Structure 1
Amino acid sequence: MLRPYPAPRTEPLRPPPQYARWRAEGPLTPVVLPSGATAWLVTRYEDVRRLLRDPRLSSDSAREGYPRFGAAVETEPLNRTFIGSDGPPHARLRRMIAAEFSVAAVRRTRPTIDAIADGCADRMGRGPRPTDLVSAYALPVSSRVVCHVLGVPYDLHEQFEHLTEVLTDGRRDDEEKRRAGVAITDLLRDLVRDRATNPRDDLVSRLMTEHVATGGLTEREAVDNVALLLGAGHDTSASMLALGALSLLGDERERHRLAAGGELDRTAVDELLRFHSIIQLGVARVATADVAVGGRVIRRGEGVVLSLPAANHDPARFAGPDALDLRRDNAHQHVAFGFGAHHCVGHLLARETLASALPRLLRRLPGLCPAVPVTGRHFKESMDFHGLRTFPVTW
């Protein structure tokens, strides 16, 4: 029997309960997507992790059988980026971008992240109370950090934030999303051309001078991939910052520790990423050959959806997975950033942003607390990324 996918959440901070039932029933669940297309849903941690590395599953949304559910990465022109390609073409584009997100590069960026977080927290503290933590802190921090790394002027933030919201909203039709995809690339084209002749110390400049100028990359490829990094980079980090703040404010001991100058270590950051698992639609693939999964077979040409939230809440891998445990010893094993060749290229920057911005928020505003009870109405609906639409706070 086909199950409707995605299933609705009954609690805003938990994956839909159906995923746990389907995970217990078997390795593959036949689902029907909003488009009417069918696919296999994979919910078990070991299966999801293994299949994320399997080259027989393609990320190319133009392939017949790809389970399209309206995600931004399926939309022109973002579907032409490295995230939607496989094998050597994917590796070629990814190599050109990855150096900007290396351990050394992110370490050099940390003082800037700290300064951005402090500045945004101070501006928020001087503003009215109550206020919305999403628009007053989470979005400004994440957008400013990504703009700094890419070399995009922050003055454009209102435009790219709005266009990204359209691209990631499952209620928008294909034409609205296509127009938003074109608009976000149009927004960046002049910038990219300017950096070709007036380079600075940023990703856009290096793409233009080291790859476009030498013929290794076209201008169009540069624009499209920068648009993807800008949209996905700021939106995912903003969602995690708001959700992370909500979780930390609910933990009295941790809130006081951070407000007193404590740091958020790698284990705690990874547990927040595991617990919230914001890529709520999962990862879509299409099989290019038959693939065996737990005694079942995904046939060539069939669509596959790998549920990252279900995998990260699999009790076979994480004990008591529906509880947030900031000292969980295997939190680092989560697949919130995916796994394998398509592992999120910006995962180190995202981790560093959380590790910096969440403690600094509580340190600058030690009395921070929700202004009203946070209920389902405050959360995003029908979006690619789980998160808070608004989070009213005071201090």
Structure 2
Amino acid sequence: MTQPADAAPENPTQLPQFPMRRTCPFSEPSEYARMREESPVSRAALKVNGKPTWLVTRHEDVRQVLGDPRVSSNLKRPGYPHQFHISDEMLAHARLMMLSMDPPDHTAQRRMLIPEFTARRVKEMRPRIQEIVDERIDAMLASGDTADLVAALALPVPSLTICELLGVPYEDHAEFEGWSAAMMNHDLSPEEYGAAVQSLDMYLDKLVTQKESEPGDDLISRFLEKNAAEQVADHADVVTMARMMLVGGHETTANMIALGVLALLEHPDHMAELRSDPTLLPNAVEELLRVFSISDSGTARVSVEDIEVGGVTIHAGEGILALNNAANHDERIFSDPGTLDFHRKEARSHLAFGYGIHQCIGANLARAELEIVYGTLLRRIPGLRLAVPADSLRFKDDAMVYGVYELPVTW
């Protein structure tokens, strides 16, 4: 159904507000199911600035949008649905991350990074990831019989892993983790958001400058070496790439570790099943990724031509949020989608890592980290349980990436 040419002017104040809150951490926002059935491509107003955008909720339509070359990821294009308080000045001077680039620039940078994240490369990294996980669990067990799993395990494991991969000194983790968390917060003012980005970029600028003259055995150094021959990025572009890799490489996985452990603790039968049959772990990881879909609206786009999605015309210059949490609960693809099922045959059809040319480049690494953390916890701490009622936990309803702020556990 296309919009009539003589439709009444749109009033953003009368549109549903986005983002929509999850009332249960294991479920999509309640509005999504109704939207999928009644208006799978519909209008909403962004809470951060009141601007209208399109919400796409069905699996098939989300895939279409993310695979359509007439849709842009460039956050500088008019109509792009920004979800943070970002000033016009900052936007004008911003360097595009690879995630916000369109071909051919995106293609050139991604081609240089792909070798760092192949299945073979990640397989080679698994023994070191296992060492990191064991070291953190050793420290947990030595500290007593209680811990905040976020601070003790969920955050340090991916943070240390990505630091070693990039060549970022882990001793600086408190600073960059703070800047990263601020950059994920919808509620910060433009000044606070800008200060977090600027602080992290200044830190990485010094690091990249150092590696330009003193390269090491790390991703940033290897990127610089390739770039010297191919010239696809300047110094500032490399800094921006490093920011994307550092933030994306630990923020999402850290939240998935904590939420996945919470799901196991709240579903003891599933936990017992995994403990008795570890071969289920890979599919369990896919199912947990599907259920939580923590980067629901990370697939923001803007149409550069008129396109039709789900029978609705989206005009050039209009913003689109292709909601992977809604897509990952689409009954047309996932039977009984609200149920956690580690035997689900279609689990890997989820779109939690996106789809198309911008699909998460670090998906193989994230999967490996999740498998190793969940499997090691089940093996080494069989008595793990929540130390507080689940309904007292604080969830990240104010953040771009969903998660839990603390996860107190005991054993």
Q: After TM superposition, is the score higher than 0.5?
A: yes
Change (3 A) 1:220 1:100: same
Helix, strand or coil at the partner of 2:137 = helix
Aligned to 2:9: none
Change (3 A) 1:310 1:347: same
Within 2, Cα distance between the matches of 1:379 and 1:294? Answer: 33
Within 1, Cα distance between the matches of 2:85 and 2:341? Answer: 30
Match of 2:297 among 281, 286, 292: 281
Aligned to 1:159: 175
2:77 pairs with 1:63: yes
Aligned to 2:264: 248
Aligned to 1:188: 204
Within 1, Cα distance between the matches of 2:386 and 2:200? Answer: 34
Cα distance, 1:252 vs structure 2: 2.4
Within 1, Cα distance between the matches of 2:111 and 2:209? Answer: 21
Within 2, Cα distance between the matches of 1:188 and 1:283? Answer: 25
Query: Would you say the 8 A contact 1:258–1:363 is kept in 2?
Result: no
2:61 pairs with 1:47: yes
Aligned to 1:4: 17
Within 2, Cα distance between the matches of 1:376 and 1:146? Answer: 31
2:406 pairs with 1:379: no
Within 2, Cα distance between the matches of 1:365 and 1:6? Answer: 37
Within 1, Cα distance between the matches of 2:377 and 2:24? Answer: 26
Helix, strand or coil at the partner of 1:40 = strand
Helix, strand or coil at the partner of 2:104 = helix
Change (3 A) 1:78 1:152: farther
The aligned length equals 394
Aligned to 1:224: 240
Change (3 A) 1:88 1:147: same
Within 2, Cα distance between the matches of 1:327 and 1:313? Answer: 16
Cα distance, 1:78 vs structure 2: 6.8
Aligned to 1:390: 406
Cα distance, 1:257 vs structure 2: 5.0
Cα distance, 1:145 vs structure 2: 1.0
Within 2, Cα distance between the matches of 1:179 and 1:116? Answer: 32
Within 2, Cα distance between the matches of 1:110 and 1:378? Answer: 31
**CA distances 1:114-139 after superposition (whole Å, capped 9, x unpaired):** 11111111111111332210011100
Query: Would you say the 8 A contact 2:105–2:232 is kept in 1?
Result: no
Within 2, Cα distance between the matches of 1:145 and 1:45? Answer: 32
Aligned to 1:314: 330
Within 2, Cα distance between the matches of 1:115 and 1:280? Answer: 31
Within 2, Cα distance between the matches of 1:57 and 1:301? Answer: 10
Within 2, Cα distance between the matches of 1:127 and 1:294? Answer: 54
Match of 1:25 among 38, 47, 50: 38
2:214 pairs with 1:198: yes
Helix, strand or coil at the partner of 2:53 = strand
2:141 pairs with 1:148: no
Change (3 A) 1:262 1:377: closer
Change (3 A) 1:132 1:70: same
Amino acid paired to 1:235? E
Cα distance, 1:244 vs structure 2: 0.8
Amino acid paired to 2:236? R
Within 2, Cα distance between the matches of 1:129 and 1:378? Answer: 22
- TM-score normalised to the size of structure 1? 0.95
Query: Would you say the 8 A contact 2:302–2:320 is kept in 1?
Result: yes
CA RMSD of the aligned region, Å? 1.9
Helix, strand or coil at the partner of 2:278 = coil
| Unmatched tracts of structure 1, length 5 or more | none
2:141 pairs with 1:125: yes
Give the alignment of 1:327-342 within 5 angstroms. 327-342=343-358
**CA distances 1:286-343 after superposition (whole Å, capped 9, x unpaired):** 1100111122100111111111100001111100101110110010100000000000
Amino acid paired to 1:313? H
- TM-score normalised to the size of structure 2? 0.91
Cα distance, 1:266 vs structure 2: 2.2
Helix, strand or coil at the partner of 1:80 = coil
Amino acid paired to 1:249? L
Change (3 A) 1:368 1:27: same
Change (3 A) 1:215 1:293: closer
**CA distances 1:144-203 after superposition (whole Å, capped 9, x unpaired):** 111121111111110111001110011101221111111111112222222223322210
Q: Which moved more, 1:3-12 or 1:237-246?
A: 3-12
Cα distance, 1:264 vs structure 2: 5.0
Aligned-pair identity in percent equals 39
Query: Would you say the 8 A contact 2:280–2:342 is kept in 1?
Result: no
Amino acid paired to 2:144? P
Cα distance, 1:69 vs structure 2: 1.5
Change (3 A) 1:355 1:309: same
Aligned to 1:106: 122
Change (3 A) 1:85 1:105: same
Helix, strand or coil at the partner of 1:67 = coil
Within 2, Cα distance between the matches of 1:328 and 1:71? Answer: 39
Within 2, Cα distance between the matches of 1:172 and 1:153? Answer: 27
